[in-house]
Amino acid sequence: MHFHVITIFPEFFTSPLSVSLLKKAQDKGVIAWTIHNLRDYTVGKHRSTDDTPYGGGWGMVMKPEPVVKALEEVGRAQPSPWRILLSPQGVPLTQAKVAELAGKETLTFICGRYEGLDERIRLFIDEEISIGDYILSGGEIAALVVIDAVARLVPGVVGRQESTVHESFSDGLLEYPQYTRPEEFRGMRVPEVLVSGNHAEIARWRRRQSLLRTRKRRPDLLARATLSEEEKQWLAQTSNED
Ligand code: SAH
């Protein structure tokens, strides 16, 4: 999986991409990235990437020529690089969207700044993604969010691939509570079932905790999840003491 990022702040990506999981994945050769400095695609001696908005108003708007030129060059080097514009007006990022993106070979991210981008740039991209209903000062953090979430699903990035299968959202539910040593901490014991060694019981307990937790914290998710008849009945009889 190759990530291309088009930004006016290439240095933004240095530290997040050089530690932990993303670093290891790059060392193993399972993911790679190229950070493109938008200023390298500007024309004229001022190398400007932005200009004042037509019609007047506050702030600056990113010019179309450098962004489109950068997209075209990335496209030449890498056939069919799926082009994503980070934007608060895009489709909200979900785990399902992340899984869909993880199936592609190349992703190209365009990071906006200032008041946004010239509207005509939208004709040169494949999709717009938002990471939530709030405004960031630039698309860089949003691009990193998408890269991190997508990279975890690329085979070979997370140690054991199964560990991404049972996570929150992957089956439409939140994950069950997790515990590690010590068995007793400040008077609180780890639930008995987890130290029982009975794997079937543990799996059942986890699934039920997952259901309770989702009902309590995210009823919107539970309404869309697929539950067995037995699970529906069990939930109806159980109060939320999660
Ligand atoms: N004036 C614009 C917001 C510009 S914010 C509007 O009202 O729609 C500047 C840049 O930050 C955007 O171009 C985008 O690339 C990025 N950005 C801001 N919020 C974002 C979000 N929630 N998700 C993804 N990108 C975002």
DSSP one-letter string for 142-191:
HHHHHHHHHHTTSTTSSSSGGGGTSSTTTTSSPPPP---S-SEETTEEPP
Residue having the nearest C-alpha atom to atom 11 of ligand 1: 138
**Beta-bridge partner residues of 129:** 91
User: Residues 117-135: what's their mean pLDDT?
Assistant: 98
Q: What is the CA radius of gyration of the chain?
A: 23
Counting from 1 in the atom list of ligand 1, the atom nearest the Cα of 89 is 8
Residues with Cβ within 8 Å of 224's Cβ and at least 6 positions away in sequence, in order, are: 172
At 135-158, the pLDDT tens digits run 999 999 999 999 999 999 999 999
Kindly list the protein residues whose Cβ atom lies closer than 6 A to any atom of ligand 1.
Answer: 86-89, 111-113, 115-117, 130-132, 134-136, 138-139, 142
pLDDT the model gives residue 77: 84
At 190-241, the pLDDT tens digits run 999 999 999 999 999 999 999 999 999 999 999 999 999 999 999 999 997 6
At 44-99, the pLDDT tens digits run 889 999 999 999 999 999 999 999 999 999 999 887 899 999 999 999 999 999 99
Counting from 1 in the atom list of ligand 1, the atom nearest the Cα of 85 is 15
Burial category of 4 from C-beta neighbours within 10 Å (exposed 0-12, middle 13-18, buried 19 and up): buried
The percent of residues above 70 in pLDDT, for the chain, comes to: 98
User: Residues 93-111: what's their mean pLDDT?
Assistant: 97
How far is ligand 1, taken at its centre, from the CA of residue 140, in Å? 10
pTM, full prediction: 0.94
